[in-house]
Amino acid sequence: MKYLLLALLGISTASSDIIAEWSPLKSQFENSDLKPSGKALEIPEFDTNGNLIFANKQHLILPEEIAKKLPKQNIAIEARVRIDQSQRWGSIASYSQDNGSYERGWILGFNGDQFSFRLSTGGQLLEVKAPQSFEPGHWAHLLGTYDGKKISLFINGVLVATRSASGPIVLPDIPTPFVIGAYKDKDEFYPINGRISSVTIRNSLPTQKELAAIAKKSAGVTFSVRPAVRFLSPGKALLYWEASHPGKAIIAYGPTRKLGTVLESTSKDLRHELLLENLQPHTRYSYRISSETDDGPVFSPIYEFDTSMNYMPKGLVADKTHPTATAYLADLPTQPGFAVVVGLTDGILTKAIAAQSQLNVTAFDDDLERINKLRKELSIEGLHGTRITLIHLPDLQKIPLTSSVGNLACTERDTLPCAPAELTRLTRANGGRTALPDGTMTSRPPLPGAGEWTHQYGPPSNTAYTGERLGGSQASKDLELQWIGRPGGNFGIDRQPRMSAPLAVNGRLYHQGLNRLMALDAFNGQILWGMEIPDLRRVNIPHDCANWCVDDNFLYVAVKDLLWVLDGSTGERVRTLKLTADHRESHEWGYIAQEGDAVIGSSVRMGAEFKKYFGDAWYDKVGRDSDTANVLSDNLFGYSKSEWKGRWSYGRGLIINPTISLSDGKLCFLECRNPELKSDTTGRETTKDLWKDIYTVCLDANTGKIIWEKPFPKTLLKTDKKGFIQVSYGAMTSKGFLVTLSEGDTDEQGKHTGKGIFSYHYFDLANGKLNFQSQTNWRINHHGAHISHPVVYEDRVYTDPTGISLPDGKVLDHKFGPREGCSAVVGTTYGLLLRGINRCLTFWSHEEKKPTHWPRLRPSCWLSFLPSQGLFLVPEGGGGCSCGGWMETSLAFIPKANSGIPLAPITEEAKK
C-alpha cells in the first residue's frame, strides 16, 4: 500500500484547494507502512497496475488527527474506485461512528450496489445515494461535496443525487478510525472488495469546468456498438465492436486481470473485429479495449468472457465435396446439430456429412465388425465420440433413439434398412431433413399443437400461454426426457434473478446467462452458438420488460441504446436499430417486441434498467421501495422489418413497461400523463403519484396512431391515502386488454397490513370500454406470490392461487398449486407449469386439478421454463442456488406420445 500525503493541512500546494491526497500505489509503500504515516492492516498485495488489492480484511488506517482537522463544510471528498462486489455498508473513505442514535462524521462509500455519501450535522447520518447501480469491476470517479447547505454526490463528473442540510459536519467525539477501504467504527467493521486508486480531499467545491474535465476523463473508450465475443470454433473467438470515433484500437487480454496478450486492430473505420486464437479451454478471460484520443489513450472497463461457454464443434479433415453429402446438406442451416445415419456401408458418407457441416453424426449399424473397424479409425483421428459416433444395433428396424433428434436423417445404403417412417420419426421437427436412398428429401413440419414462445410471456400479448398442447400431457409422467446437458450451472446468475425468460421458435431455444446468451437446438440440445456481451444484463423483469424477443429468423436483443438483430442460426449480427433521434444521447432501448412486419421499441432513461444481482437483489419485497419501482418508457416507436426503417413514434406520457402488450396489430399499455412526472424522472417510478393520472391507451402498431384512450378507472384497494401498487401487468386476449394490478393494503400511516389483492381490469379491445373490474386475494406476500404474473386463456385468468373467468370476471371456483418458490407460472392447453411441490418443477392438471412434479428440478426465480415447439424446455436456471440438491442442468421433455419409444418395465428376458 502506498500512502502519499501530497499536501499538509493548512499548507498551500500547487493545487491550492487540495488539502490531502492518498494514492495507494505499490511504489509508495514500504512493507505495510504508508509514507509518511499510516498503515495497511494486512500484508499488502498489489495488482499488475500497482493498485493495492482490497480483499479479505485489507484496509488502511490513517492518522486520526488529519481527519479531525478537515473542514466541516465546503469540503469535497473524491475517489477513483473499482468495487468488485456489492455489499452492505461499503466504505471507500470514512471517519464516522454509527452506533444507535449516536451518528457522527462522514462516509463516502456505497450500500448494496449504489454509491452514496453520508454525513452528520449532529443528528442521524444524512445520505445522498445514486439512483442507479454501479457495475462491479468497473472504475468510477466519485465525488461527495458539502457546502454547509447541500450534500451532493457526483459520479464521473455528473451530479446524481443531492439533498439539503445545514450546519457544519459534526465529527465523532470518541476515538474513531480514519479509514480507507472499509467501514470501521467502535463496533462495526465492513471491509470492501476492489481497488481505490486515489482519495483526495479539498476545501472547495468543484467548478463546472472541473466537473466537465472529470466527466471527459472518466468516459474512457466510447462505443458506437458495444463489444461482444462470439465463439467460432474450439480455441477461437471473435471480439468485435464499433468505436464512436476513428483511430487506433488495441485490446489486451489474458486469463487473469493481468491481461498479457496485446492485439492491434487493423481496421481503418469504426468497425473492429479481432480474432482471438489459441484460447485455453475452461478459462475465464479478461480483456480491455483502448483507443487513442487527442488527450492520449483511453481505456474501457475490464470485461470478461469464459471459454467454458465455447461449445463449437471442431472441424475435421475429410472430403468436403462428397456429392451425396452436398445434396443432403444443401439449404440446411449452417449450424451445429445432429445427423442420424441408419445403416453404414463404408462410413465415407458419414464422415463427409461431418466434414461438410457442423453436425454431430451418429450412425447405427448392425455389423459389429464393420463398426469396430471404423470406430478405431475415427478414434485415431480423435473424431469418434466427438464428431462421429458409431453405435452397434443388431436390428435396424427400430432405432432406440428418442424421436425428433436429427437435423438430418439418412442412410449410407442403397436400401433403407428400416421403414421410411422410422427415419422420419428420427428427424427433428421444424425443418429437419429426411433423405431417402432414392434421393427423396422431405422436411419435417412442427409437432402437432406446438406453440411458439417468442416473447417474455409467450406471445407479445403476454398471456404466458401460446396454445401449446404438449401432446395432451397433463402430468409429469406424460413427458419423457428428450435431451439433457449443457448449458449447466456455470452459465447463469445463480437463480437467474428475475431475468428475461428463454425463448423458443423455429426449433431453436435461446437462453440468457451472466452477461451471455446462447442458442440451442430445441430438439437435441446441441449448442448452436454463444456470445458473451458485457452490457447484456437486465433483471427485475416483473417491474420492467424483457430485453429480447425472437421471430423465425432473427433474435432481437436490446443492448444499451441499440437493438441488435442477430441471425438466429449463427448469432451473426446482421444490423443494429437505433432509438428515435431525440433520445440517442440520453436513453437506452427498453421494450422490444415484434409481430408481422413490425418491430416495436421504447426509450428508457439511461441507467433506469435494473442490473444488480449480488446480495439482496430480490425485487419482490412487499411494499414500495426502489427495487420494486416500475421502469418507465418515455416513448414507443415502430420499425418495419421489410425496410428496417423507423415508421412512427409516440411519446405523450410515461409508459409503464410491464403493461405494454401487442396483439393483432394493436399495442396496449398504461401511461401516466402527469406532466410533472414526465419532466422529472429517473426512468423509474419514484412516487405513488404515478397512479393519479393514468390512461389506458391502444395504438395501431403499424402506424402509431391512437385507436382509443381511456382514463384508467379507480383501483380497487389502493386509494390516494393508503395502499400501493406492487406490480402492474398488461395482457391481451382476442377481445380485450387485461390489466392485472397487485394492490397492497396499508393503514393510514402507510404501514403494510400484510394483505393485498390482484385486481383485474378488462377493457374491450375494440373501443376501450371497461368490461369489468374484479379481484382475488393474495395467498401470501413473499416469494413472488404477490407479484404473480397472470396466465391468460381466452376464458380464464390465473394468478396465485386462483383467478377469474372471462369475459365476466367471476372468481374461479378452484385454486391451483401449491406454488412454492419465486418462479412465474405458464400455461399449456391442459395445465399449468410452475415451481411447486418441494419447490421443484410441477405440472398442475386442469382436468385433474392436481399437481405432479419432477424432484430436484429447480427452475429460476422468475421464468426459465417454457412449453414450446411441442416440447417442455427447461434450460438451466437455478443451479447456483447453493441450498439444495438440484440437478443443475438444462433439459427438455417430449410428450410420451411423441417420444417414439414405449417404456417397458424390466423383463426377465431383458435382465438376461
Partner 1 sequence: MNPIPLLLTLCAVASATPWPTYRHDNRRSGVSPEALALPLKEAWTHDGGAPQQAWTGPAKWDAYSKNDGLQSMRNFDPCHFTTAINGLIYFGSSADNAVHCLDAKTGKEKWLHFTNSSVRFPPTIEDNKAWFGSDDGFVYCADAKTGKTLWRKRAAPTDRLVPSNGKLISPWPVRTGVTVENGRAWFAASLLPWKTSYLWCVDSNSAEDAYLTEHSEVTLQGAMLAGGSQLYIPQGRAAPIAFDQENGKRTKQIGQAGGVFCLLTEDNQLIAGPPNQKEQNEQIRIADTSSGKRLTTFNNTTRVVVSKGKAILHSVDKLQCLDLTRKGELEAAIAATQSALKKLDPKVEEQKPEIEKLKKSLIQSQNDLKGCLLWQIDHPTPVELIIAGDQLIAGLNNEVVILETSSGKQLWKAPVKGRAYGLTPSEGRLIVSTDLGYIHTFAAKP
Q: Between residue 229 and residue 288, which ones bind partner 1 under the rule CB under 8 A?
A: 281-282
Query: What spatial distance separates the first Cα and last Cα of the chain, rounded to whole Å?
Result: 71
Q: Does residue 901 belong to the site contacting partner 1 (CB under 8 A)?
A: yes
742: cell is 397487485
Q: Are 217 and 287 in contact (CB under 8 A)?
A: no
**CA distances in angstroms from 699 to 204, 465, 551, 712, listed in the order given:** 53, 23, 22, 16
Q: Is 488 in the site for partner 1 (CB under 8 A)?
A: yes
Angle (nearest 5°) at CA 753 between 749 and 759? 105
Instruction: Give the whole-angstrom CA distance, residue 672 versus residue 706.
Output: 15
Query: CB under 8 A: which stretch of 173-181, 396-404, 545-553, 864-872 binds partner 1?
Result: 396-404
Q: Between 330 and 910, whose beta carbon lies closer to partner 1? A: 910
| Choices 55-63, 440-448, 484-492, 636-644; region in contact with partner 1 by CB under 8 A | 484-492
Nearer to partner 1, 225 or 522 (CB): 522
Q: Between residues 298 and 901, which has the closer beta carbon with respect to partner 1?
A: 901
Query: Where do the H-state alpha helices sit in 207-304?
Result: 208-219
Write the CA distances from 74 to 150, 525, 581, integer angstroms: 10, 62, 40
Nearest CB to partner 1, comparing residues 585 and 908: 908
* Least distance from partner 1 to the Cβ atom of residue 488, Å: 3
Looking at residues 289 to 318 of the shown chain, list those that interact with partner 1 (rule: CB under 8 A): 308, 311, 313
Cβ within 8 Å of residue 805, ≥6 positions away: 795, 796, 797, 812
Cell reading at 773: 373490474
Cβ distance to partner 1 smaller for residue 216 or 398? 398
- DSSP run (H or E) holding 350: helix 348-355
Q: How far apart are CA 706 and CA 585, in angstroms?
A: 27
Rg (CA), the chain: 30
Assign 58 to helix, strand or coil: coil
| Concatenated DSSP letters of 745-813 | EE-TTS-EEEEEEEEEEEEETTT--EEEEEEEE-S-SSTTGGGPPPEE-SSEEEETTEEEETTT-PBPS
Total of chain residues touching partner 1, rule CB under 8 A:
78
Binding of residue 224 to partner 1 (CB under 8 A)? no
Report the residue number, 721 or 911, with the smaller CB distance to partner 1.
911
Q: Which is nearer to partner 1, 623 or 884 (CB)?
A: 884
Among 554, 618, 650, 865, binds partner 1 (CB under 8 A): 618
Which listed residue (257, 846, 856, 896) binds partner 1 by CB under 8 A?
A: 856
**Nearer of residues 296 and 905 to partner 1, judged by Cβ:** 905
Contacts of 797 (CB under 8 A, 6+ apart): 738, 740, 760, 790, 791, 803, 804, 805, 806
CB nearer to partner 1: pick between 526 and 696: 526
Q: Give the type of residue at 513.
A: G
Which window, 455-463, 595-603, 864-872, 881-889, contacts partner 1 (CB under 8 A)? 881-889
Which is closer to partner 1, CB of 529 or CB of 798?
529
> Among residues 218, 779, 884, 897, which is the contact residue for partner 1, using CB under 8 A?
884
Q: How many CB atoms lie within 10 A of CB 808?
A: 11
CB of 741 to partner 1, least distance (A): 27
Minimum distance of partner 1 from residue 393's CB (angstroms):
9
Spatial CA neighbour of 535 closest among 507, 496, 510, 563: 563
Query: What's the min distance (Å) between Cβ of 311 and partner 1?
Result: 8
State in angstroms the smallest separation of the CB of 831 from partner 1.
Answer: 16
DSSP classification of residue 420: H
Q: Could you tell me the three cell numbers for 324?
A: 451425396
Residue 328 engages partner 1 in binding (rule: CB under 8 A): no
CA distance 155 to 248: 28
Least spacing, CB of residue 241 vs partner 1, in Å: 24
**Closer of 811 and 901 to partner 1 (Cβ):** 901
Cα–Cα distance measured from residue 865 to residue 890, given in angstroms and rounded to the nearest whole number? 10
**Positions in 513-552 near partner 1 (CB under 8 A):** 514, 524-526
Nearest to residue 467, comparing CAs of 811, 198, 830? 830
CA 531 from chain centre, in angstroms, equals 13
> Considering only 485-493, 564-572, 713-721, 808-816, which stretch makes contact with partner 1 by CB under 8 A?
485-493
Q: How far is the CB of 615 from partner 1 (least distance, A)?
A: 6
Q: What is the DSSP string of 656-693?
A: EGGG-EEETTEEEEEEE--HHHHHS--SB--SGGGGGS
Alpha carbons within 13 A on the beta-carbon side of 498: 27
Q: What are phi and psi of 31, to 5 degrees?
A: 55, -125
Count CA within 13 A, CB hemisphere, residue 657.
32
**Selected binder of partner 1 within 489, 623, 807, 809 (CB under 8 A):** 489
459 versus 880: smaller Cβ distance to partner 1: 880
804 and 776 Cβ atoms separated by less than 8 Å: yes
**Torsion-angle region of residue 92: left (phi > 0), alpha (psi -120 to 50) or beta?**
alpha
- Judged by CB under 8 A, the residue of 159, 174, 275, 484 near partner 1 is 484
> Residue from 389, 553, 773, 805 that binds partner 1 (CB under 8 A)?
389
Among 2, 853, 868, 898, binds partner 1 (CB under 8 A): 853
Specify the stretch interacting with partner 1 by CB under 8 A; choose among 2-10, 383-391, 737-745, 788-796.
Answer: 383-391
| Minimum separation from the CB atom of position 110 to partner 1 (A) | 15
Length of the chain (residues): 912
CA-based nearest residue to 843, from 851, 893, 835, 820: 851
Rounded to the nearest whole angstrom, what is the least distance from the CB of residue 37 to partner 1 in the complex?
32
Asked if 14 touches partner 1 (CB under 8 A), the answer is no
* Closest to partner 1 by CB, 53 or 887: 887
For partner 1, the binding residues in 337-366 under the rule CB under 8 A are: 338, 360, 362
Q: Binding segment for partner 1 among 10-18, 21-29, 710-718, 853-861 (CB under 8 A)?
A: 853-861
CB of 619 to partner 1, least distance (A): 11
CB of 85 to partner 1, least distance (A): 8
C-beta closer to partner 1: residue 338 or 798:
338
Shortest separation between residue 303's beta carbon and partner 1, angstroms: 15
- Among positions 723-782, residues that touch partner 1 (CB under 8 A) are none
CB-nearer residue toward partner 1: 175 or 885: 885
**Does residue 122 bind partner 1 (CB under 8 A)?**
no
Q: In this structure, what C-alpha cell is assigned to residue 644?
A: 428496417
- Binding track, positions 362-381, relative to partner 1; x by CB under 8 A: x--------xx--xx-xx--
Residues 82-101 that bind partner 1 (CB under 8 A): 85, 87
Residues 22-81 that bind partner 1 (CB under 8 A): none
Q: Compute the least distance from the CB of residue 405 to partner 1, in Å.
A: 6
- Residue 30 beta carbon to partner 1: minimum distance, rounded to whole angstroms: 25
Our CB check for partner 1 shows the closer of 24 and 879 to be 879
Smaller CB separation from partner 1, 490 or 703: 490
Interaction of residue 883 with partner 1, rule CB under 8 A: yes
**Which of 83, 880, 895, 898: binder of partner 1 (CB under 8 A)?**
880
Of residues 421-450, those binding partner 1 (CB under 8 A): none
For residue 811, how many other CB atoms are within 10 A of its CB? 14
Q: How far is it, in rounded angstroms, from Cα 605 to Cα 638? A: 18
